[in-house]
Amino acid sequence: MSETFILEQDKQNLRKTERDIMYQTILFDLDGTLTDPGVGITNSVAYALEKYGIQTADRTSLYPFIGPPLQDSFETFYHFSSADAKQAVAYYREYYEEKGIYENLLYHGMEGLLADLSAAGKTLLVATSKPERFAVQILEYFQIQKYFTYIAGSHMDGRRSRKYEVIAYALQTAGISDLSGAVMVGDREYDIAGAKQAGIASIGVLFGYGSRQELERAGADHLASDVEEIRRIVCKI
């Protein structure tokens, strides 16, 4: 038997093994993955920007704020100083805590997916850069917190807001040591990059706020065009 044939057989076996992996631990991003927060987040950002005399008639121009840490976004997209960005986050929360948090929609079919995965014995976690207090409040509002073993987010002061930090914290807190059976589900490049840093697989969802190009460029292991495709990837059906 030739060495070339053996190497080709090894490659085929590896591909088969990769296809046959069933994920046991599924981490979900929140904004743009579990829920569509577009109205609430962009209204909150617009409210904060108005404090600095900045008008934003086109709310879609604020979509890049959905996903990354807020302070980073004010600094990156509007070139705020660190001090101004921190104050902008405070203004943002004035609107968000009262109204914006509820200007939010649960994606169609998501609760059914979570219920089925939970019933199948999967460990479900939330890993979001949003402050943990807000994340818990949102999941309770939609009555889906019961499906998650742990809900991990950032601190109110911005600590633990990097996606890798949140993912690592969620896995550690939930006592997950088998990283080969874990996968991060998210809609932005930050989710994919965080998963890579944490040493786990990733699913990029195409119904959120990141484009196919963004997710492919970030190196997503899988892409899901809808909620049912997440089910097929996770359960290998």
Same structural domain, 160 and 170? yes
Q: What is the pLDDT of residues 71-89, one digit of tens each?
A: 999 999 999 999 999 999 9
Same structural domain, 121 and 92? no
Domain count, the chain: 2
Same structural domain, 20 and 45? no
Q: What is the mean pLDDT of residues 125-146?
A: 96
Same structural domain, 68 and 88? yes
Residue 2 covered by a domain: no
Contact 188, 211 (CB under 8 A): no
pLDDT at 47: 97
Q: What is the pLDDT of residues 204-229, one digit of tens each?
A: 999 999 999 999 999 999 999 999 99
Last residue within a domain, chosen from 102, 120, 147: 102
- CATH number, position 84: 1.10.150.240
Same structural domain, 230 and 211? yes
Residue 4 covered by a domain: no
Closest to 167 in 3D by CA, of 207, 204, 198: 198
Show the domain range for 42. Answer: 38-102
Residue 221 covered by a domain: yes
Residue 157 covered by a domain: yes
Indicate the pLDDT class of residue 160, thresholds 50, 70 and 90.
confident
d(CA 204, CA 221): 8
pLDDT at 81: 97
Last residue within a domain, chosen from 102, 128, 155: 102
Q: What is the dihedral of CA 130, 215, 39, 234, to 10 degrees?
A: -70
pLDDT at 15 over 50: no
Task: Provide the annotated active-site residues.
Answer: 29
pLDDT at 237: 56
Same structural domain, 84 and 197? no
Spell 100-138 as b/e; 16+ CB within 10 A means b: bbebbebbeebbebbeebbeeebbbbbbbbbbbebbbeb
Q: Which residues contact 42 (CB under 8 A, 6 or more apart)?
A: 59, 60, 62, 63, 65, 66
Last residue within a domain, chosen from 71, 102, 133: 102
- CATH number, position 127: 3.40.50.1000
Same structural domain, 169 and 204? yes
d(CA 145, CA 132): 12
Same structural domain, 131 and 176? yes
Q: Which residues contact 97 (CB under 8 A, 6 or more apart)?
A: 134
d(CA 37, CA 190): 17
Closest to 170 in 3D by CA, of 127, 228, 234: 127
pLDDT at 17 over 60: no
Q: What is the mean pLDDT of residues 9-30?
A: 66
Share of the chain above pLDDT 90, in %: 85
Return mean pLDDT, the chain. 91
Same structural domain, 23 and 58? no
Same structural domain, 49 and 33? no
Same structural domain, 76 and 167? no
Residue 46 covered by a domain: yes
Residue 128: helix, strand or coil by DSSP?
strand
Q: Which residues contact 159 (CB under 8 A, 6 or more apart)?
A: none
Same structural domain, 29 and 140? yes
Indicate the pLDDT class of residue 21, thresholds 50, 70 and 90.
low
CB atoms under 10 Å from CB of 228, counted, come to 12
Residue 117 covered by a domain: yes
